[in-house]
A and B are shown apart, each in its own frame.
Chain A
Amino acid sequence: MVDLPPDPIQMTIAMITSPLFLKVAIFPGLTSIGIIAAILTWLDRKITARVQLRIGPQYVSPFGGILQSFADLIKLAFKELIIPEKADRFFFILAPVFGLVLGAGLIALIPFSPETLISNVEVGLPVFLAFVTLSPTLVLLAGWSANSKYPFIGGLRSLFQQTGYEIPLWLSSIGVVMLAGSFNLTKIVQAQSTGWFILPQLLGAIIFLVTSVAEQERIPFDLPEAEPEIIMGWQAEYPGFLFLAAQGAGFVKLYAFSALFATIYLGGYLGPGPQFLGLFWSLFKTTIMIVLVILLRGAFGRVRLDQLLKYGWTLLLGLAIINIAITYFLIEGFPAI
């Protein structure tokens, strides 16, 4: 007897309703990332505006202009793609696209709750940091490919800034690994059931926050996109939806880093109340971190490149190593932590 091949329609329906596909496509996957990135662009503009005593986006919908970013999305999608004539088209188009894919990849590793985790890799934290390390390569290629002075300078500045702040980012997260004894993000959350890691790791958390804001090229570290000086830095020549991709990648990274901070320092999905509220708690903590980082934008000026690199490589690196030493003595002294 020959087995009949399975009915393709049934197979497609089975695949679409499988839990993995729902996680990948809806939440915390593709659709939710797109919507959250759009909401974050609006949130960034709104909060920055309020801090600066302006109103911000207000026209596009009855509630505070929240649909503004969707309107921008539609507008940018229909713009003409003007690529500079001596630019390298292959990298020019692919670099921001892969930046988006990279940012989205970061979200897959975060345990928003034990059920809505896409990928429970045993070495979750190094994989997350490996994705982050790929970002300077893409920005360097993007800045180079436009073959124009200001994007190239912006790309180089971004390269030095991101590589310079990557090492303190890694070293500050080592403290968390020491306390939890595992790289697995779910196990790190579980290890915080006796106390969130932000308390023994206060120095490390502050370093992590500062370096992650530098990694995302947000103000006060927005030198690579310095608007009044070099137009938009490496994004200057990007038309239409490629600009959208570059900006969107930045906001997806904001989401990812805030979620990681909430996971490794603030206890992730742990919180008072019944088990199924875990998702709410992790999203709540992520939102707090996002709002905190956005508020930094309104509060600070810009750091100069040579100051930035000098302090990144001396002060922050030294503090991160001191944090590792402090955590070591904490563990040796109080094995119960």
Chain B
Amino acid sequence: MVAEGIPELVYYLGFITVNTLALVVILILLVSPRDKKPTPVKRAPFESGQIAVGRGRTRFIIQYYPYLLMFVVYDVVAMFLFAWAVNLRTLGAAGTIPVLVFVSVLLVPLGYALHLANRPENW
């Protein structure tokens, strides 16, 4: 009922996850030394010696946001391209036309996004 290879993959991933988590738990609980009297500066954020001021989650480089959006869109495009590519020999030229139109239509938002990206004044 399930495709070939999936049970082995699930078994393998489960095995690795269980072992890694067990190792981490053992390391945290048993192996790592504890500090009985920690000083406050030990747990402060590390900035190579200077004292950290302000929030920890600052500058967002929002001018690259269009790249993230295009990633989502082209992820979907890649899905259809893969579906087309695997059957290219049986589909031939007739099946390629919808994919060709699909990709070229989606080059338009890519151009718009590239135009907008990396210009901080737009954001």
Which A residues are closer than 8 A to B by beta carbons?
20, 24-25, 29-30, 77-86, 93, 97, 100-101, 104-105, 108-109, 118-124, 126-127, 133, 144, 146-150, 152-153, 156-157, 159-160, 163-164, 166-167, 170-171, 174-175, 177-178, 181-183, 231, 236-237, 240-241, 305-306, 309-310, 313-314, 317, 321, 324, 328, 331-332, 335
Q: Given A177-B82, A309-B64, A309-B117, answer yes or no on A81-B28 (Cβ-Cβ < 8 Å).
A: yes
Known: A78-B31, A126-B82, A157-B61. A237 touches B45 (CB 8 A): yes
**B interface, CB within 8 angstroms of A:** 3-6, 8-9, 11-13, 15-17, 19-21, 24, 27-28, 31-35, 42-48, 52, 54, 56-61, 64, 67-68, 70-71, 74-75, 78, 81-82, 85-89, 93, 96, 103, 110, 114, 117-118
Which label, helix, strand, loop or mixed, suits the secondary structure of the A interface?
Answer: helix
Whether A108 contacts B12 in the complex (CB less than 8 A), given A119-B5, A121-B4, comes out as yes
| Interchain CB contact under 8 A, A177 and B4 | no
Q: Which 4 A-B pairs have the closest CB atoms?
A: A148-B45, A121-B5, A147-B56, A119-B9
Query: Which of B46, B67, B70 interacts with A236 by CB under 8 Å?
Result: B46
Are B88 and A24 neighbours in the complex by a CB distance under 8 Å?
no
Asked if residues A84 and B71 are in contact (CB atoms below 8 Å), the reply is no
Contact for A160 among B5, B19, B68, B78, CB less than 8 A: B68
Instruction: Give the distance to chain B from A154, nearest Cβ to Cβ, in Å.
Output: 11
Instruction: Give 24 CB contacts A-B under 8 Å.
Output: A20-B11, A79-B32, A97-B20, A101-B13, A108-B8, A108-B9, A108-B13, A109-B9, A120-B5, A121-B6, A122-B5, A127-B9, A133-B75, A146-B45, A149-B45, A152-B57, A160-B64, A167-B71, A183-B82, A240-B32, A313-B117, A317-B74, A324-B85, A328-B88
Closest to B68 in A: A163
Kindly count the residue-residue contacts between A and B in the assembled complex, taking CB atoms under 8 Å apart: 186
Give the Cβ gap from A280 to chain B, nearest Cβ, in Å: 23
Once the chains bind, are B52 and A80 in contact (CB under 8 Å)?
A: no
B64 to chain A: closest residue by CB:
A160
Complex Cα–Cα for A48 and B67 (A): 33
B contact residues around A240 at 8 Å (CB): 27, 32
Q: Are A30 and B19 in touch, CB under 8 angstroms?
A: yes
Question: How far is B46's CA from A84's CA once the two chains are assembled, in angstroms?
Answer: 8
B16 touches A101 (CB 8 A): yes
